[in-house]
Amino acid sequence: MKLLHAFLAFAVGAMMTVAPARAVDLSIVSGDTGNGIKVLREILDRYEKQSGNKVSIVQMPPSTTDQFGQYKLWLAAGNTDIDVYQTDVIWAPQLAAQLVDLTEATKDVVGAHFPSIIQSQTVNGKLVALPIFTDAPALYYRKDLLDKYGAKVPTTWKELADTAKLVMDKERATGNKDIWGFVFQGNAYEGLTCDALEWVMSNGGGEIIEPDGTISINNPKAAAALDMVKGWIGTISPPGVLAYQEEESRGVWQTGNAVFMRNWPYAYALGNGADAPIKGKFDVAPLPAGSGEGARPVATLGGWNLAVSKYSKHQDAAIELVKFIASPEMQKYRTLRTSNLPTIQALYDDADIAKEQPIIPRWKEVFLNAAPRPSATVKIKYNEASSQFWTAVHKTLSGEGSAADNLGDLEVTLTKLKGSAW
């Protein structure tokens, strides 16, 4: 903590004051998970001290599906109460028309970010959001339990299922009745699209909708992947996993009641918190691969950005706020506090981050090899396409029809949605 305090003192002293001519009240909307809102508030406190402006947080539910729905309503209504939106990496094409073009205002800072992330937030040549952290999930595992039973870190989904059952059964035999083998995000929302894309792609089943617009999801390899996961429900995964989002998964994991978990980087720092029962007992590895031709580990690309509403009454001040939060100094602060992955390339070689969050340099390769969802291909129809996909997956995992039948129906629905073109 001394290192963190020293860094903060330096950062606050070193950063340039961004005060506009007259102080204004701003609002930023966020639905961050874990301690993300708390850390955002700490960053905003520093911004307020330097700028003289005041910033309030409009807090949203953690479900990205709920957030996106509300964002669309606010923007469609021309809501002037929200100045800055925290946006998912997939939303840029869908919201671009109602966001401020940041290209000119950020030309002095975009070069420090990973080019691929900047490109993901660029629509028709206009940068509509500035990245603040990126995301790619990994497999969390209880290294103490694997060592206890002489088990190896799984590299395939079959190995994961076998190891999860082995350790779970042995632990339950010792009286640990609450432990499960594997938790993930099984609720019917955008998070399930992320999880299911990984299962399907890692099994050689394609990208749901290919970069050329072809609807590819209705194939035997994709169906086999979903049948595999259906077999986990009630065996290595609790029946309630079908209602889990990120925080429910983390809750089971962090209390010590799971052998494996699929989740994003934010859960790493929280799991190593001073009061966490699993502190020092776990590690992370790449997500497993499927089986057969085309099988490989796949992690869905995530990440969060800041966009300025076209309806903001204080656009200049809002842009300066966005640049402050996305700056190297504040990205470093966020990473030290949350283990979120920075989008500033140089921070992966930062000595303080390597010391306080040693997982970050290791996670760089997971992120660089992450697979994007087909939002760039499907454009403004992505939200509906994703909703249809996660619905078909959730039905399958819940026992409502076979994977083959549900994916066949999904293909028909997506074909109608596509029409003549995406």
**Would you state the pLDDT for residue 19?**
44
What is the token pair recorded at 101?
């073009």
> Do 377 and 371 form a contact (C-beta atoms < 8 A)?
no
DSSP reduced 3-state for 175:
coil
User: What amino acid occupies position 268?
Assistant: Y
> Do 403 and 227 form a contact (C-beta atoms < 8 A)?
yes
What is the token pair recorded at 333?
């602060």
**Would you state the pLDDT for residue 292?**
84
pTM: 0.92
**Euclidean distance between the first and the last CA atom of the chain, given in angstroms as a whole number:** 50
Radius of gyration of the chain (CA): 22
> Do 282 and 145 form a contact (C-beta atoms < 8 A)?
no
**Would you state the pLDDT for residue 22?**
79
126, containing H or E segment: strand 126-127
Q: Which alpha helices (DSSP H) does 203-350 contain, by range?
A: 220-230, 246-254, 266-271, 315-325, 328-338
Question: What is the rounded distance in angstroms from the CA atom of residue 164 to the CA atom of residue 94?
Answer: 39
**Would you state the pLDDT for residue 412?**
98
**Would you state the pLDDT for residue 14?**
45
What is the token pair recorded at 422?
């995406």
For the chain, how are helix, strand and coil distributed in percent, rounded to 5? 50, 15, 35
| 393 alpha-carbon distance from chain centroid | 19
What is the token pair recorded at 214?
């072809």
**Would you state the pLDDT for residue 21?**
57
**Would you state the pLDDT for residue 90?**
97
**Would you state the pLDDT for residue 5?**
52
> Do 226 and 396 form a contact (C-beta atoms < 8 A)?
yes
> Do 62 and 33 form a contact (C-beta atoms < 8 A)?
yes
What is the token pair recorded at 221?
């390899």
**Would you state the pLDDT for residue 269?**
96
| Average pLDDT over the chain, rounded to an integer | 95
**Would you state the pLDDT for residue 393?**
98
Q: Which residues of the chain have pLDDT under 50?
A: 2, 6, 9-10, 12-20
